[in-house]
C-alpha cells in the first residue's frame, strides 16, 4: 500500500514546489518592475500600490491602508510576498457575480446612469472622470450600457498581460535575473542589539547594493545568485533522525505525584501580518526546590472529523529570573528536553519570581490560505422563530471556553474573560460591566459558567438581529476560519511541579514576543549551539543549535558596519523553515545578533537533512 501511494505523494510534493517557485518568480518579477533590487525597500503607499498592480492585483485604498499604516516606514520583499499570499486576485467568476448583483434582470448589461450612481456613492467613491474613463471604452460599451461580460474578459486579459510583461522583463534582464532576494532586515521583534535591552529599530535602506554577476548562470529567475557573488561563506550540514516514540530523560509528571503542582493554559495567536502573540506568565517559587516545568499543545475536545492542526505545533518555554525590575530579567533555561509533543525542563530554582515566556518557531503555525467551499452556519431560527446557536457553533464556543479558562476550573473569572475581550475587541470589561453580566447571565462565585458564556454570545446575535458579522470577527480573531476550523491558533497547557513548595503561576499579558524573549532565544543558541566563523570574516559568527525537533541559527555581527547575509537552504531535505523561503537574505545591524531562521522536519516520521550556506554579500 505504501509503495502504491508513494509516487502520488512524491508527485504532489513536486507540484507544490513548482507552484511555490512560480509564485516567487512572479513576486520578484512584479517587485523588480518597480524597484531596482529586491533588497531595496518599498518606501511609500504609491510604490506599494504599483508593485501590487504589477503582480496583477487591483488594490483598493482600504487594502493599501491595511498594510501601510501610520507606523509603517518601509516594507521589504518578504513583506510583499506575504501580502500577495493574503491578497488573492479576483477571479472572473467573482467579478461576474458582483456585476450580477447589480444587474437584477440578468441582461448582461448595466446602464451607465446606474453604474455612475453606484461607483460615485458606494464604497471607495470614484470621481466623475474615473467613471467616464470606464464608460468611454468602446470595447465593452454600447448604447449607454456597459457589457460587463466583455469588461471582465478584458480585465482578466489585461491583468495576465501585465504579469507576463513583468516576467518577460525579468527573463531578458540578466542583471535582475541574478540579483539576491529576501528581506533586508529582520522585524524588530527578532533583532537584538547588544548590550542594550531593546531591539534595534528597522533600518531604512537608502542605497542600492550592486552585486557582481556570474557568467553562465542558468538558474530559474526565482532563485538568487549563489555564493559566487559573495565575499565569504560557510556551510553547515546536520543529519537528523526520524522522530522516535521513545521517551527522553524528561521525568513524566506521573512519577511526581507527591510533588506540588500548578497549571495554566494559554494560546498562541497569529496576527494578520504573521506575527505570533501569546500569554506571558509570572511564576512565584516560595523556597528553593527542584522543579519540573512542561508545555504542550492543549488537546481540547473537537467535533468528530475536524482536524486538530495545532497539535503538531512546536511549543517551548523560556524561564527568566526577575531581579530588581521586570526589564532586568536573567535567562535561567528553557524547555530543551522533548517527550512526544511535550517539551520540558527539570532543575533547581531558588526562591523568588520568574517569568515564563511561551515560544513557537512559526514553522507550523503560519498563515495558510485554504479554499473554503461552504461557510459554516452560526445561527438558525427554531420552531418558535427564536434565534439559536447551531450545534457546530456551540461546539466551537465550548472549545473556546476551554481555551480561555486558563486555570481550568470550568469558570471564567474577570481576568480570564478580559484576555478574551482584549483579543477579540481590544477592550476590557470593567467591574461595573461585569456586575451587569452577573445580573443577566449564569455565574457561580462571581465567575461566568459555560452556559453563561453561550448565552452571552446568543445575546450578541440577538442584538444584531441575527447578523453573524460580529460573531465571525470574534471567531477569526481566535484563529478560526469560515469552516469553523482552528487553523491560526495553538492552545497550550503549562504544568509546574515543585518538590518542596507550592508554586504559583499567573497569566499577566497577552502580547507579541518581547525583546526579552528574543534575547533569550539568541542567548540559548549562543550558549548551547556550535559557533562557526565565516571564512575570511572573523567578525561574523553563525551559531547553530539543534535538538531532536528543531534547528535554530543565530548570526552575530561584531563589526561596526551592517552586513547582509545570504542564506541558502536549497540542499536541505524534508525541511520546513519559519521563513517560508528556501533562499533569502537578512541584514544584521552593527554589533548585534539576530535569529536567521528556525527549521523543523516537514515529515517527522522521516529523516531530515539540514544543509545551509551562509554567505556575506
In this structure, the answer to whether residues 365 and 497 fall within a common structural domain is yes
pLDDT tens digits, one per residue of 166-212: 777 776 664 444 443 443 333 333 333 333 333 323 223 223 333 23
pLDDT (0 to 100) of residue 548: 72
- Provide the β-strand partners of residue 339: 342
> Which residues contact residue 49 at a Cβ distance below 8 angstroms, ignoring those fewer than 6 apart?
59, 64
Is residue 299 one of the residues assigned to a domain?
yes
The pLDDT, as a whole number, for residue 11 is: 67
pLDDT at residue 1, as a whole number:
33
Residue 99 lies in a domain: no
Please report, for the domain that includes residue 115, its CATH number.
1.10.238.10
What per-residue confidence (pLDDT) applies to 498?
94
| β pairing state of 232-240 and 145-147 | unpaired
575 falls in which pLDDT band (50, 70, 90)? Answer: very high
Give the least confident one: 60-69, 212-221, 407-416.
Answer: 212-221
What is the DSSP annotation of 337-396? Answer: EEETTEEEEEEEE-SEEEEEEEE--SSSSS------SSPPP-EEE-TTS-EEE-HHHHHH
Same domain, 262 and 350: yes
Q: Are residues 328 and 347 in the same domain?
A: yes
Mean predicted confidence (pLDDT) in 244-259: 63
pLDDT score at 199: 32
HEC string of 22-80? HHHHHHHHHHHCCCCCECCCECCHHHHHHHHHHCCCCCCHHHHHHHCCCCCCCECHHHH
Q: What residues are paired with 504 via a beta bridge?
A: 284
455, pLDDT greater than 60:
yes
Where residue 249 falls among pLDDT bands split at 50, 70, 90?
low
Same domain, 120 and 77: no
Kindly state whether residues 400 and 472 are assigned to the same domain: yes
107-146 pLDDT, tens digit each: 898 888 888 888 888 777 778 888 888 888 877 888 888 8
- Predicted local distance difference test score (pLDDT) of residue 453: 96
Q: What is the CATH number of the domain that holds 495?
A: 2.60.120.380
C-alpha angle with apex 583: 581 to 587, nearest 5 degrees?
A: 100
Provide Rg for the chain, Cα atoms: 27
Residue 450 has pLDDT above 90, yes or no: yes
| Coil, helix or strand at residue 307 | coil
- 238 found inside a domain: yes
How many domains, in total, are found in the chain? 5
- Integer Cα distance of 86 and 23 in angstroms: 13
Q: Beta strand pairing status for 443-444 and 260-270?
A: unpaired
- The boundaries of the domain holding residue 111 are 106-156
For residue 261, the model assigns a pLDDT of 94
Q: Which band of pLDDT confidence, cut at 50, 70 and 90, is reported for residue 281?
A: very high
CATH number, position 570: 2.60.40
- Specify the pLDDT at position 76: 87
| 3-state secondary structure (DSSP) of residue 605 | coil
Mean pLDDT of 342-349: 93
Residues 364 and 496 in one domain: yes
Given 478, 508, 532, the domain boundary residue is: 478
Residue 516's pLDDT band (boundaries 50, 70, 90)? confident
Residue 483, domain member (yes or no): no
- Any domain includes 203: no
Q: How many Cβ atoms are within 10 Å of 43's Cβ, its own excluded?
A: 16
The larger pLDDT score, comparing residue 540 to residue 339, is at 540
pLDDT band at residue 13 using 50, 70 and 90 as cut-offs:
low
Residue 502, pLDDT score: 95
Residues 455 and 504 in one domain: no
Q: Can you read off the three cell numbers belonging to residue 86?
A: 493574503
Residues 455 and 591 in one domain: no
On whether the CB atoms of residues 556 and 540 are closer than 8 A, the answer is yes
Mark whether 283 and 432 lie in a shared domain.
Answer: no
Tell me if 165 is assigned to some domain: no
Q: Judge if 507 and 360 occupy the same domain.
A: yes
- The CATH number of the domain holding residue 28 is 1.10.238
Q: What is the pLDDT of residues 300-325, one digit of tens each?
A: 865 555 567 888 899 999 999 988 66
Supply the pLDDT for residue 447: 95
Q: Are residues 300 and 315 in the same domain?
A: yes
Mean pLDDT of the chain: 82
Residue 412 falls inside a structural domain: yes
pLDDT of residue 226: 37
User: Would residue 268 count as lying in a domain?
Assistant: yes
Residues 265 and 357 in one domain: yes
Q: What is the pLDDT of residue 547?
A: 83
Amino acid at each position: 500500500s505504501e509503495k502504491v501511494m508513494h509516487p502520488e505523494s512524491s508527485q504532489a510534493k513536486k507540484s507544490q514546489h513548482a507552484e511555490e517557485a512560480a509564485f516567487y518568480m512572479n513576486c520578484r518579477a512584479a517587485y523588480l518592475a518597480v524597484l531596482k533590487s529586491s533588497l531595496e525597500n518599498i518606501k511609500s503607499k504609491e510604490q506599494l500600490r504599483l508593485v501590487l498592480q504589477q503582480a496583477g492585483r487591483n488594490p483598493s485604498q482600504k487594502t493599501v491602508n491595511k498594510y501601510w499604516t501610520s507606523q509603517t516606514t518601509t516594507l521589504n520583499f518578504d513583506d510583499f510576498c506575504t501580502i500577495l499570499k493574503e491578497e488573492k486576485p479576483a477571479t472572473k467568476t467573482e467579478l461576474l457575480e458582483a456585476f450580477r448583483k447589480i444587474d437584477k434582470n440578468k441582461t448582461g448589461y448595466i446602464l451607465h446612469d446606474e453604474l455612475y450612481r453606484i461607483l460615485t456613492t458606494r464604497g471607495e467613491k470614484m470621481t466623475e472622470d474615473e467613471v467616464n474613463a470606464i464608460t468611454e471604452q468602446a470595447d465593452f460599451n454600447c448604447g449607454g450600457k456597459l457589457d460587463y461580460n466583455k469588461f471582465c474578459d478584458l480585465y482578466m486579459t489585461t491583468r495576465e498581460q501585465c504579469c507576463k510583461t513583468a516576467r518577460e522583463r525579468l527573463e531578458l534582464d540578466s542583471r535582475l535575473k541574478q540579483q539576491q532576494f529576501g528581506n533586508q532586515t529582520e522585524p524588530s521583534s527578532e533583532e537584538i542589539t547588544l548590550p542594550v535591552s531593546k531591539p534595534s529599530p528597522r533600518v531604512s535602506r537608502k542605497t542600492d547594493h550592486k552585486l557582481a554577476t556570474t557568467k553562465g548562470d542558468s538558474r530559474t529567475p526565482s532563485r538568487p545568485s549563489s555564493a559566487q557573488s559573495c565575499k565569504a561563506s560557510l556551510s553547515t550540514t546536520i543529519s537528523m533522525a526520524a522522530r522516535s516514540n521513545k521517551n527522553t530523560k524528561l521525568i513524566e509528571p506521573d512519577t511526581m505525584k507527591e510533588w506540588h503542582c500548578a497549571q495554566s493554559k494559554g494560546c498562541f495567536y497569529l496576527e494578520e501580518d504573521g506575527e505570533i502573540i501569546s500569554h506571558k506568565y509570572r511564576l512565584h517559587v516560595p523556597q528553593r526546590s527542584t522543579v519540573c516545568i512542561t508545555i504542550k499543545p492543549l488537546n481540547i475536545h473537537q467535533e468528530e472529523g475536524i482536524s486538530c492542526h495545532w497539535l503538531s505545533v512546536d511549543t517551548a518555554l523560556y524561564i527568566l529570573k526577575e531581579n530588581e525590575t521586570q526589564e532586568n530579567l536573567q535567562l535561567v533555561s528553557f524547555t530543551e528536553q522533548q517527550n512526544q509533543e511535550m517539551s520540558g525542563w527539570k532543575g533547581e530554582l531558588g526562591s523568588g519570581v520568574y517569568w515564563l515566556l511561551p515560544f513557537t518557531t512559526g514553522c507550523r503555525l503560519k498563515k495558510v490560505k485554504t479554499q473554503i467551499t461552504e461557510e459554516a452556519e452560526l445561527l438558525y431560527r427554531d420552531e418558535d422563530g427564536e434565534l439559536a446557536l447551531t450545534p457546530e457553533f456551540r461546539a466551537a464556543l465550548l472549545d473556546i471556553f476551554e481555551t480561555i479558562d486558563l486555570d481550568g476550573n470550568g469558570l471564567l473569572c474577570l481576568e480570564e474573560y478580559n484576555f478574551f475581550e482584549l483579543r477579540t475587541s481590544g477592550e476590557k470589561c470593567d467591574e461595573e460591566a461585569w456586575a451587569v453580566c452577573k445580573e443577566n447571565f449564569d455565574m457561580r462565585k462571581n465567575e461566568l459558567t459555560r452556559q453563561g458564556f453561550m448565552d452571552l454570545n446568543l445575546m450578541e446575535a440577538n442584538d444584531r438581529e441575527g447578523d453573524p458579522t460580529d460573531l465571525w470577527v470574534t471567531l477569526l480573531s481566535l484563529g478560526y476560519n469560515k469552516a469553523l476550523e482552528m487553523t491560526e491558533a495553538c492552545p497550550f497547557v503549562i504544568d509546574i511541579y515543585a518538590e518542596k513548595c507550592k508554586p504559583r503561576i499567573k497569566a499577566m499579558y497577552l502580547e507579541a514576543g518581547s525583546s526579552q524573549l528574543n534575547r533569550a532565544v539568541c542567548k540559548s543558541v549562543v550558549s548551547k549551539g556550535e559557533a562557526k566563523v565565516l571564512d575570511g570574516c572573523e567578525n561574523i559568527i553563525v551559531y547553530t543549535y539543534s535538538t531532536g525537533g528543531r534547528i535554530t541559527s543565530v548570526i552575530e555581527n561584531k563589526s561596526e558596519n551592517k552586513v547582509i547575509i545570504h542564506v541558502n537552504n536549497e540542499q536541505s531535505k524534508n525541511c520546513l523553515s519559519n521563513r517560508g523561503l528556501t533562499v533569502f537574505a537578512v541584514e544584521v545591524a552593527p554589533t548585534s545578533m539576530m535569529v536567521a531562521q528556525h527549521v523543523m522536519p516537514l515529515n517527522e516520521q522521516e529523516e531530515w537533512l539540514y544543509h545551509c550556506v551562509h554567505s556575506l554579500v
